[in-house]
Amino acid sequence: MESTWNEQIIAHYKSNTIHLDWLSKPSQHQFRWRTLEGRWVTSKRRIRNHETLMKAIGKNFPSDLYVSTSSWLNPIDLPRLRDTELSHPVLLDHLIVFDIDVAPLSLKNLEKAKEIAKGVHSFVMLNESVEFVHATFSGSKGFHLIYKDTDREKFGIPNPKQREETVRKERKDLLSRVLEQGFEVDERITADTRRIIRLPGSIHGKTGFQCTSIDTNQFDIPLTKLLEEIPKIDDAIVIPKKAKAIVKKSFKEEIEDVIDNEHSYLIEVSNHLPGTKDRSALLFWTPYSWGTNTDCFERLNMLIEMENLSFGAIFSDGERILFICPESITRAKVAKILTNLGMEKLSQNLKQRDHYWVRISGIMDDDGIWHNEPKFISIINNHNSKSIYSNAHLTLLTKLGIPIDRSQHEKLSGNSEPSIRMVVRD
């Protein structure tokens, strides 16, 4: 039996050692990862080596694994930059990192990214006081260049806040010098002391390629040969020669940009029917492994047929499908359906709390920009006239822009307004 994408990722971490010796003191860095279920986790313990990293991860194997570019006196429960109530954290060091990505992913664009990285490295080594650590292939659209800062004076500033502000200013000045040379690098990475970057040795959860340390002389070999030297899982994507079109960043990539240094905001709805004791609607996001193509729609069609559901509204954020069935269903039946779909954690959440929350919006960053909001795709009908509908979740669908003819839904259950909340996440 062939292994699934997630099984291949888990197998990678079980059979490969992630080396941290390129970090002066790994225990002073923060480690974060996104689990295979899409949940973000920050290590609550100090990481010294591969063994302690694997203990911290436990059974929550990562889809994507990151490490902070800064080292701290206490990297555990690190307060946010804007947090004024807690004592300012003590910054001990900050790696100089340049991120070179050329989107969308293609061999042609990767070749361009490789040439940019080669040029940036030559410029930095000739003009700046740095010590080269290594370059990495990110596992997707480009490369990271990582250096140690040999000028240690600023890291001796007694006031922790002033020290960090000084480091950020110097990094901004360095970034400006690189940009003035015409090099296309990510302007948000270099000067950000709270940034996380992909950990070499980890798998990129979207492509299946390993984020891999490389030497700069590998920039001189053909890209196809370089990629042959990069480890990957069996089902890793085939990188196209040319990109068909410029595409908007995926939901997961957008989160990567805002999750580690800003708040994010989203709107969630409860699956409970207000005004009832144990009635629920069936709402969920499909697993990433289902994709957004025909196979996913066939699964949802089969779900509606097998469970004799009335209809389901389908939305997509580009990575997953949001499924909303506005039917009044017993809580026990919804829990059973979720378990049969392999969504055990959501099912357990429903059993323990009598309801669960589901995201129905995109994710807004602190600049007020919404990232990849769910867009309506279609409705799958089963024309089950005997169904009793959730009054609140029919209202929800109208709020999401779907015209609902309530005269076609005579049997309604619960109150008319759904339970909706705004969530703020660090």
CATH classification of the domain holding 214: 3.90.920.10
Question: Residue 342: what residue type?
Answer: G
Per-residue model confidence (pLDDT) at position 274: 94
Give the helix/strand (H/E) hosting 413.
strand 412-413
Asked if residue 329 and residue 284 are part of one domain, the reply reads: yes
pLDDT tens for 233-250 read: 999 999 999 876 544 444
Positive or negative torsion for Cα 371, 145, 188, 176: negative
pLDDT above 90: percentage of residues in the chain:
67
Whether the CB-CB separation of 322 and 374 falls below 8 Å is answered with yes
* pLDDT tens digits, one per residue of 333-370: 999 999 999 999 899 999 999 999 999 998 876 556 67
Q: What is the reported pLDDT for 369?
A: 62
359 within a domain of the structure (yes/no):
yes
Answer whether the bond into residue 403 is a cis peptide, omega within 30°.
no
What share of the chain has pLDDT > 70, as a percent?
90
Residue 109 predicted with pLDDT over 50 = yes
How many domains does one find in the chain? 2
User: Which residues are within 8 A (CB) of 75 and not within 5 positions of it... i.e. 6 or more apart?
Assistant: 27, 28, 29, 30, 46, 68
Indicate if 197 and 309 belong to the same structural domain: no
146: which residues sit within 8 A by CB, 6+ positions away?
A: 22, 95, 96, 97, 132, 133, 134, 135, 136, 197
CA distance linking residue 41 with residue 17, whole number of Å: 20
- The whole model's pTM is what? 0.61
Residue 252 placed within a domain: no
Residue 264 has pLDDT above 80, yes or no: no
Mean pLDDT value of segment 408-414: 79
pLDDT, one tens digit per residue, over 290-327 is 888 888 888 999 899 888 898 899 999 888 899 999 99
Pair 272, 189 in one domain? no
Q: Per the domain annotation, does 335 fall within a domain?
A: yes
Structure tokens at 355: 């309801």
| The pLDDT of residue 271 is above 90 | yes
Q: What domain range is 143 assigned to? A: 5-247
List, for residues 178-219, the tens digit of each pLDDT value: 999 999 998 888 999 999 999 999 999 989 999 999 999 999
Please give the backbone phi and psi of residue 172, each rounded to the nearest 5 degrees, phi first: -65, -40
Asked if residue 321 and residue 284 are part of one domain, the reply reads yes
- Residue length, the chain? 426
Residue 253 belongs to some domain of the structure: no
Beta-carbon neighbour count of residue 67 at 10 Å? Answer: 26
pLDDT mean over 128-145: 96
Name the residue type at position 91: L
Residue 271 domain-assigned (yes or no): yes
Tell me, yes or no, whether 300 and 410 share the same domain.
yes
Compute the mean pLDDT over every residue in the chain, rounded to the nearest whole number.
Answer: 89
Q: In terms of pLDDT, which residue wins out, 411 or 146?
A: 146
Query: What's the rounded mean pLDDT across residues 257-275?
Result: 74
Residues 172 and 38 in one domain: yes
Look at residue 384 in the predicted model and tell me its pLDDT. Answer: 61
Per-residue pLDDT tens digits for 363-399: 876 556 677 688 898 888 876 656 899 999 999 999 8
The CB density around residue 153, as the number of other CB atoms within 10 Å, is 7
Q: Read out DSSP for 102-132?
A: -SSP-HHHHHHHHHHHHHHHHHHHHHS-EEE
Same domain, 24 and 80: yes
Which residue has tokens 């990293």? Answer: 53
Q: What is the C-alpha separation between 48 and 16, in angstroms, rounded?
A: 17
> What is the residue whose two structure tokens read 């989107």?
103
Band of residue 47 on the pLDDT scale cut at 50, 70, 90: very high
Which whole number is the average pLDDT over 101-118? 94
State the Cα–Cα distance between residues 29 and 194, nearest whole angstrom.
Answer: 11
Do 402 and 285 share a structural domain? yes
pLDDT on residue 366: 55
- Is 80 exceeded by the pLDDT of residue 85? no
